[in-house]
Amino acid sequence: MQQKNQKIEDAPNVLKNTAKVGLFTTISRVLGVVREMLQSSLIGAGWEQSAFTLAFAIPNMARKLFGEGALTSAFIPVFKDVLKNEGEEAARKVARSVMSMALLMLGSLTVLSVLGVSAAFSWYPWGLEVNSEQSERVLLILKLTRTLLPYMIFICGAAFGMGIMNALGRFFAAAALPCILNIIWILSLFVLLFVGDMAISQRVQYVAIAILISGACQMGLMFWCMHKRRMSPKITFKGWRNPHVSLIWRNTAIGAIGAGAIQINYMLDQLLAQWAAPWAAGVIGYADRLMDMPLGIIGVSFGTVLLPTLSGFFSKKDVEGARGVLVSSTQKMLFLILPAAAGLAVLAPDITRVIYEGNAFDGIATIRVSRATACYSIGLGFFGLQKCIVPWFHAQKDMKTPLYVSMAMVFFNAILNVTSVLLLPVEWRHVGLAGSTVVCSLITCILLAAIARRRNGALGFKKIVKPVLQILLASAVMCFAIYYMRDFLNEICSAHQWSGVAKNITTLSVLAAVGAGVYFAVMFLFKKISSRLK
């Protein structure tokens, strides 16, 4: 009876914690929109933005490998076990040993990387024509990379601290942390508004310095929060051979290979985008950030809370309780993310125009970004589902299964990407790259769900088939309402000769409100009909 009550209590806790994470993620994403509006206006979507996107991908890759990715996924289940069975002091020692090793490795890697990039300048211009656009692009990539490499240490330290706080059930500070990056980034762009004529290549270098400063602030804040929770991040050389520490690093190595496979896909997308067109990498970056807004607010929030929650169930060997939380969370995640995906697909041109268009970001860039955004939106449901299923394996300390699936997707994604670049017209190649990511995510979800079913029995996803069909139908009705309402609003604006930024913002706001109203009205109607049929 007590176990049953615990299951009942845990489901609301998941929603409560997800709401906390989602709230601050929403604030961060809103700040991100402001940041992107300023960035697109001051930097545009040309080769300078592509160079920045490629350089920033390197510390981001380290963050996903050693910070909030493989290391955190391997650390949280073991940390929860130690905390539950051996006490806080033992857990504190494990955390300090793992963090010390991680920071020392990242510090060494950063120093070697900076030296390597600095050495690359001695061979510049690498046989390229001096002062040509291609040589300037290579030079800018090297400069930005050298500036942003130390960011790896800061953001990975902060991300590891986030993992500790999440494992302790403290999601507040960790969820608020990304806001620091956006605030400092926005301030740097705001300063550039008042600076005189400055080359775009210089602007992105100032932005890179601001990102480096924000990383130091993020790690400092996270370390302070850990200190308040008696988990002070002290460097130690003791406990490195502790069995728990060894298990964490063994699972991290496995998870890093899997996360590395995902990052290889991302880097391959970036490199092929450079090949597809000079502007393609920057365009895909803008589209990815639009897609990341609903995914971060909804999908990532659920995934962040599910890992420590499922780890708690599996530490008690309560598979049934874990299954119930997974199914319930997945249904609620899809209830929110599927209509968001549908709305993003229909409103992609309107959203892109409002957020990005202006100054250096012209109408052609709007078309390109909206095409990629619409393609990404088709896969939002799969991306969100993947965020829920992967913690199921990590909570069981199984890093290998997601690894095998990810590695298989590297080859498949590479084939799709190369095919897209070779066969599609220039203006659609970046859409093909986005579509490859969507297809690979779908296949990943299918494979992981099948493996989980074979290992742990039926997960119970059949229970949500009917609700998901209702969600899809309600989303379709919403799309039709938005489509016809947009034509109606455009006619009114044309009749009153109303145009410009105010018109675009007002129209988008009305369309979003109408879409949300129609969706929730249809879902309420389905609920009434279902209750009467019972």
Question: DSSP class of residue 130?
Answer: T
Neighbours of 354 (CB within 10 A): 20
Read off the pLDDT of residues 147-174 as tens digits, 9 standing for 90 and up: 999 998 888 888 888 878 877 777 777 7
Rounded Cα distance between 373 and 186, Å, is 23
What pLDDT is stored for residue 1 in this prediction?
39
Query: What is the DSSP secondary-structure string of 406-427?
Result: HHHHHHHHHHHHHHHHHHS-GG
Residue 440's Cα: distance from chain center in Å?
Answer: 16
The encoded tokens of residue 165 equal 């706080």
Read off the pLDDT of residues 503-517 as tens digits, 9 standing for 90 and up: 888 889 999 999 999
Q: Which residue is listed with tokens 């049953």? A: 4
Helical segments of 229-297, H only: 243-276, 280-294
Confidence of residue 19 (pLDDT cuts 50, 70, 90): confident
Residue 243: Cβ-neighbour burial (10 angstroms; 0-12, 13-18, 19+)? exposed
What pLDDT is stored for residue 64 in this prediction?
66
Where exactly are the structural domains of the chain? 2-459, 469-534
The encoded tokens of residue 312 equal 């708690």
431: part of which helix (H) or strand (E)?
helix 429-456
Read off the pLDDT of residues 272-292 as tens digits, 9 standing for 90 and up: 777 778 788 778 888 888 888
Instruction: Name the most confidently modeled range: 23-27, 125-129, 408-412.
Output: 408-412
The phi, psi pair for 452, rounded to 5°, reads -65, -40
Confidence of residue 8 (pLDDT cuts 50, 70, 90): very low
The encoded tokens of residue 430 equal 């970046």
3-state secondary structure 175-223: HHCHHHHHHHHHHHHHHHHCCCCCCHHHHHHHHHHHHHHHHHHHHHHHH
Read off the pLDDT of residues 453-463 as tens digits, 9 standing for 90 and up: 998 888 888 88
Average pLDDT rounded to a whole number, residues 236-245: 80
7 vs 241: which has the higher pLDDT: 241
Question: DSSP class of residue 129?
Answer: P
How much of the chain, in percent, has pLDDT values that exceed 70? Answer: 90
Rounded Cα distance between 258 and 407, Å, is 6
Instruction: Name the most confidently modeled range: 177-181, 407-411, 475-479.
Output: 475-479
Read off the pLDDT of residues 182-229 as tens digits, 9 standing for 90 and up: 899 999 988 888 876 788 888 888 899 999 999 999 888 888 888 887
List the beta bridge partners of residue 358.
Answer: 361
Average pLDDT across the chain, whole number: 83
| Contacting residues for 316 by C-beta, under 8 A, at least 6 apart | none
User: Is residue 365 scored above 80 in pLDDT?
Assistant: yes
User: Is residue 389 scored above 80 in pLDDT?
Assistant: yes
What pLDDT is stored for residue 11 in this prediction?
46
Identity at 510, one-letter amino acid code: V
What pLDDT is stored for residue 3 in this prediction?
44
What pLDDT is stored for residue 130 in this prediction?
54
User: Is residue 7 scored above 70 in pLDDT?
Assistant: no
Average pLDDT rounded to a whole number, residues 389-410: 86
User: Is residue 342 scored above 80 in pLDDT?
Assistant: yes
| Contacting residues for 12 by C-beta, under 8 A, at least 6 apart | none
451 vs 13: which has the higher pLDDT: 451
